[in-house]
């Protein structure tokens, strides 16, 4: 109960700040971001001390080396965080852009403008650099932010948020705009996702379990991110040399990320030609293959894929492989098992490519390129808050615009509306 | 349990249809809408018989006359429904529009296109015409639809949906695209709002209680609609004659709808001049006033407003009135009590007007016009699914674009991504 009151008080402070932030000038926000970057670097020693304490506790708790690596900060990583804030400052202001305007027959002038969302809730796991990234992107887009980082990074996150918050305030950002929940209790997430009326959105980043739990339980609107069961379909009209490169890149270049491929679908007519060399390429990189019976009739030493394999996000050097009779079967497989993230076809047939792009249901559908490009930076947004796998509000890589809403500004000269039969409500 | 299976089967049929709908040509959808309009009119007698049965049951259950009026259909209302479908057919196709495109340095061509959401869930109350409107707007935007109408209108809604569904199928719309839940059990709403992975969005229309319950419990993304605690602020620089007209229109022209005004805020400097005549105008229309103590010192016979009055959506000929010291106090009052719907200022001062528009947090902020204009038709969208009071996805009146999402289509020539330090996930 005390915890709930504390979180609510922080959210209320953020909400109060958000009203002032919404009309703060662009140059004030950008200058603050530069001051915050400088403060990170001049406070690096203090931040690294807190991070060392987090690292010590996590190592004592027996965390894996890969986890510790995500948690660790050093001078270079702090410089990268600072540089990230400066790059964010240099991006165009996402606020104030007009995206609809009309003068109505009655003389009313209606304009729709980009405005901040208000208060953004971010829930994330190990990496402390997300703290600085999220604060920077939220301030740039005129939002207040309530952060809940990983429990193991609490001392690091607290040091980063305190440093940035102080520098922001000194540069004219309203007090209360940056809030970090300084408690390890997992129940804090549940309190946060029920702050209806105080938080305008919750963005979870992390494991599938965390995201699922938040989507199922939150009464605050959520942007679902991150799950990626991505497919590459090698069509009968594929350039097979291109297919080897694309499949290898999509699986091997970074298997732990959400835009890596998990399943390879191959047209029956090219399977016998394509699969032996593809398997040799992938095995040279240590990839384990799991195939359907038809794959095993070409590659007898491949493990048999179970039904669960088609829906699994391995995040590892494992690839499920299935032979399909045609592009329709590939599209049906993808629409059944995918997570709405990124899908690719390799083909030289323009009609098949067009049909695949139209009918596959995903944020991003590639023709003759690797799924690994789904990323805010690769898409030219200059920033990324995460990758949305839902269809509401924003889909695919989220840049600054994903942190904005709209407002209609209407000018009249005393217009009133005549009573009309149409009903607006209920 | 049987109910849950039945609803799930209907949602799965809608989902399967949605994949085909997404690539259906514009002319097929528009031709179907015309055929559906014709079918409504040629089946009018059968629909009216079912409606008469609904009316009889509702009258026997002791429903109020205003409720029965919302439930009632007649030949004119059926013609209006048919005409609504024809007008929807005539609107521009919201699908296939490109709203972002870039060629990246590596040669990738990235385009973002408007696509359907997929399956739209609509939950609504008495009026059977919403059944036809919702079906028409969803099909026009390439979506399948799962409808849950009011229990008292079940026979009317079933007749309308069956008529439209048959005509749509005959005109080439995939089977299963139109689904109506044919059960009165209130638990059906709860099943529907937990069809994660089958429904892409739920749009509730109706009373505040229904909407609140759905927002709190749904695991499917929700677009919150309808609650409107709207304010008019009469500034010290207001044209008082204009203010009388605007306030009267916003309160009296249709008090039951969400864009009607519930609270009048008056600058202290003009209150003594303004309020006596304003009160006379409103009382002539039967409006009851509830005022703060300062209002009562000018109008002694006004009831004292309680704290709850500032947050109440009366939906009736009642108006709360408060005197404020300045525009800042008006903005603070509005941001504290409003529901994010529509707010208005009456002023001739350009700086005050600008400040009010920037700082008031609502879907629509008017200068010198009535809040009653917040409506999809008045805004030039040619349609309206509801009025969103949330900030995610869509805010304010929802036209066809609110029923769409986006998809990135990316063309390459074999591009693969180099391993890079930036992390996309977690």
SS3 state at B295: helix
The structure's pTM equals: 0.93
Neighbours of A318 (CB within 10 A): 16
Q: Nearest-CA neighbor of A223 among A314, A149, A317, A124?
A: A124
Chain A residues whose beta carbon lies within 8 Å of the beta carbon of residue B363:
407-408
- Environment class of residue B111 by beta-carbon count within 10 Å: exposed (0-12), middle (13-18) or buried (19+)? middle
For residue B196, the chain A residues in CB contact (below 8 A) are 215-216
Is A426 within 8 Å of B369 when comparing Cβ atoms?
A: no
Per-residue pLDDT tens over the stretch B317-372? 999 999 999 999 999 999 999 999 999 999 999 999 999 999 999 999 999 999 99
- Strands A144-148, A119-123: parallel, antiparallel or unpaired by DSSP? parallel
Residues B419 and B426: their CA atoms lie apart, in Å, by 17
Which tokens in the block code for residue B374? 């917040």
- Among candidates A357, A337, A341, A340, which has minimal Cα distance to A349? A357
pLDDT at A125: 86
Given pLDDT bands bounded at 50, 70 and 90, which one contains residue B420? low
| Mean pLDDT lowest among A158-172, A220-234, B35-49, B79-93 | A220-234
Q: What is the pLDDT of residues B59-68, one digit of tens each?
A: 999 999 888 9
Determine contact, residues B67/B126, Cβ cutoff 8 Å: yes
Angle between helices B26-42 and B154-170 (to 10 degrees): 130
- Give the 3-state secondary structure of residue B108: coil
Residue B156's nearest CA partner among B61, B78, B59 is B78
Chain B interface, mutation test: which of A249, A410, A420, A422, most B Cβ atoms within 10 Å? A410
- Burial zone of A157 (CB within 10 Å; 0-12 exposed, 13-18 middle, 19+ buried): buried
pLDDT the model gives residue A426: 42
Concatenated DSSP letters of A329-357: HHHHHHHHH--SSEEEEE-S-HHHHHHHH
Q: How far is A63 from chain B (nearest CA, A)?
A: 17
Answer yes or no: are the C-beta atoms of A207 and A70 closer than 8 Å: no
In this predicted structure, what is the pLDDT of residue B426?
42
Cβ-contact B363, A407 below 8 angstroms: yes
A125–chain B nearest CA distance, Å: 7
Calculate the CA dihedral of residues B129, B130, B132, B134 and round it to 10 degrees: 170
Question: What Cα–Cα distance (Å) separates residue A330 from each residue in A259, A308, A311, B12?
Answer: 19, 17, 14, 20
Give the one of A219, A363, A426 whose C-beta lies nearest to B407's C-beta. Answer: A363
* Torsion angle of C-alpha atoms B380, B383, B384, B390, degrees rounded to 10: -50
Give the position of tokens 């490009």: A373
In this prediction, the residues of chain A whose per-residue pLDDT falls under 70 are 1, 420-426
Q: Does B418 contact A253 at a Cβ distance shorter than 8 Å?
A: yes
CA torsion sign for A190, A191, A193, A194 is positive
Long-range CB pairs of B207-212, under 8 A, 24+ apart, other chains included: B207/A426, B207/B125, B208/B313, B210/B123, B210/B125
Name which of A369, A380, A402 to mutate to probe chain B: the one with the most chain B Cβ atoms within 10 A of its Cβ. Answer: A369
Alpha-carbon distance A137 to nearest alpha carbon in chain B (angstroms): 15
To the nearest 10°, the Cα dihedral for A140, A143, A144, A149?
Answer: -70
What token pair was written down for B60?
């026997």
Task: Read off the pLDDT of each residue in B200-227 and give the average, rounded to a whole number.
Answer: 89
A to B CB pairs, distance under 8 Å? 268
Considering only CB atoms, B412 lies closest to which of A126, A228, A368, namely: A368
Measured in angstroms, the CA of B77 and the nearest CA of chain A are apart by 11
Give the pLDDT band of residue B225 (cuts 50, 70, 90). confident
CB B278, CB B249: distance < 8 Å: no
Query: CB count, 10 Å around CB of B203?
Result: 25
Name chain B contacts of A74, Cβ cutoff 8 Å. Answer: none
Instruction: Give the minimum alpha-carbon distance from B71 to chain A in angstroms, rounded to a whole number.
Output: 12
Q: Which residues contact A352 (CB under 8 A, 6 or more apart)?
A: A235, A237, A327, A345
Q: Mean of the pLDDT values across residues B380-390?
A: 91
CA-based torsion, B194, B199, B200, B204: positive or negative:
negative
**Contacts of residue B348 in chain A, CB cutoff 8 Å?**
none
Nearest chain A Cα to B363, which residue? A407
* Residue-wise burial string across B184-200, b where 16 or more C-beta atoms lie within 10 A, e elsewhere: eeeebbebbbbbeebbb
- Sorted by sequence, the CB contacts under 8 Å of residue B280 that are 6+ apart come out as none
- What six digits make up the tokens of A320? 């499920």
The backbone torsions φ and ψ at residue B332, rounded to the nearest 5 degrees and listed phi first, read: -60, -45
The answer to whether residue B226 scores a pLDDT higher than 90 is no
CA A355 from centroid of its chain's CA atoms: 27
How far is residue A225's CA from residue A209's CA, in Å, rounded to a whole number?
12
Long-range contacts of B378-383, Cβ-Cβ distance < 8 Å, separation of 24 or more:
B378/A104, B378/A108, B378/A417, B379/A102, B379/A104, B379/A110, B379/A408, B380/A102, B380/A104, B380/A110, B382/B87, B382/B88, B382/B90, B382/B91, B383/B87, B383/B88, B383/B91, B383/B137, B383/B140
Q: What is the pLDDT of residue B36?
A: 98
CA distance A299 to chain B (A): 26
Q: Report the residue from A125, A253, A335 with minimal CB separation from B19.
A: A335
Show the domains of chain B with their CATH numbers. Answer: 2-224+390-409 (3.40.605.10), 230-373 (3.40.309.10)
- Closest CA–CA distance from residue B281 to any residue of chain A (Å): 15
Task: Return the closest-CA partner of residue A348 out of A281, A259, A270, A262.
Answer: A270
Region of residue B180 (phi > 0: left; psi between -120 and 50: alpha; otherwise: beta):
beta
Instruction: Nearest chain B residue to A112 by CA: give it.
Output: B364
> How far is Cα A229 from Cα A263, in angstroms, rounded to an integer?
8
**Do the bridges between strand B288-291 and strand B303-304 make them parallel or antiparallel, or are there none, so unpaired?**
parallel
pLDDT digits (tens, 9 = 90+) for B174-209: 999 999 999 888 899 999 999 998 999 999 988 888
ipTM reported for the complex, 2 dp: 0.94
Among B408, B411, B418, B420, which would you mutate to test the A interface (most chain A Cβ atoms within 10 Å of its Cβ)?
Answer: B408
Would you give the distance in Å from CA B369 to the centre of its chain? 21
Task: Tell me if B221 sits within 8 A of B202, measured CB to CB.
Answer: yes
Q: Chain B: residue nearest A397 by CA? A: B424
List chain A residues with CB under 8 Å of B102.
379-380
Interface touch A380/B207, C-beta < 8 Å: no
Report yes or no: A198 and A12 within 8 Å, Cβ to Cβ.
yes
Element of type H or E holding B399? none
Dist CA A339 CA A259 (whole Å): 11
Residue B279's contacts (CB-CB under 8 Å, 6 or more residues apart) are: B289, B299, B302
């Amino acid at each position: 109960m005390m915890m709930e009151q504390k979180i609510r008080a922080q959210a209320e402070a953020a909400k109060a700040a958000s009203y002032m932030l919404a009309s703060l000038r662009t140059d004030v926000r950008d200058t603050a971001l530069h001051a915050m970057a400088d403060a990170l670097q001049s406070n690096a020693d203090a931040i690294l001390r807190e991070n060392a304490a987090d690292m010590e506790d996590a190592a004592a708790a027996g965390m894996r080396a890969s986890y510790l690596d995500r948690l660790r900060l050093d001078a270079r990583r702090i410089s990268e965080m600072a540089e990230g804030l400066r790059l964010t400052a240099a991006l165009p202001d996402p606020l104030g852009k007009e995206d609809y305007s009309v003068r109505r027959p009655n003389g009313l002038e209606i304009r729709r403008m980009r405005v901040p969302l208000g208060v953004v809730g971010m829930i994330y796991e190990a990496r402390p650099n997300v703290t600085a990234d999220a604060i920077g992107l939220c301030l740039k887009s005129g939002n207040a932010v309530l952060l809940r980082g990983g429990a193991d990074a609490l001392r690091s996150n607290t040091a980063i948020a305190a440093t940035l918050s102080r520098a922001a305030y000194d540069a004219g950002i309203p007090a209360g705009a940056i809030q970090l929940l300084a408690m390890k209790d997992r129940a804090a997430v549940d309190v946060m996702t029920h702050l209806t009326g105080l938080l305008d959105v919750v963005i979870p980043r992390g494991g599938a379990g965390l995201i699922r739990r938040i989507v199922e339980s939150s009464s605050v609107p959520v942007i679902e991110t991150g799950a990626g069961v991505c497919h590459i379909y090698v069509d009968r009209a594929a350039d097979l040399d291109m297919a080897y490169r694309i499949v290898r890149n999509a699986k091997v270049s970074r298997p732990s990320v959400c835009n890596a491929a998990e399943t390879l679908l191959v047209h029956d007519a090219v399977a016998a030609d394509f699969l032996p060399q593809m398997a040799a390429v992938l095995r040279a990189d240590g990839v384990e293959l799991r195939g359907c019976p038809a794959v095993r009739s070409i590659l007898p030493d491949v493990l048999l894929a179970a039904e669960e394999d088609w829906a699994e996000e391995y995040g590892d050097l494992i690839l499920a492989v299935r032979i399909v009779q045609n592009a329709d079967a590939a599209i049906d497989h993808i629409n059944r098992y995918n997570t709405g993230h990124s899908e690719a076809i390799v083909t030289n047939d323009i009609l098949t490519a067009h049909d695949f792009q139209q009918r596959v249901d995903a944020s991003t559908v590639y023709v003759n390129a690797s799924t690994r490009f789904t990323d805010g930076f690769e898409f030219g947004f200059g920033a990324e808050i995460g990758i949305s796998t839902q269809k509401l509000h924003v889909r695919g890589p989220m840049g600054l615009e994903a942190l904005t809403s709209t407002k209609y500004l209407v000018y009249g000269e005393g217009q009133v509306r005549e009573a009309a039969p149409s009903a607006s409500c209920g």
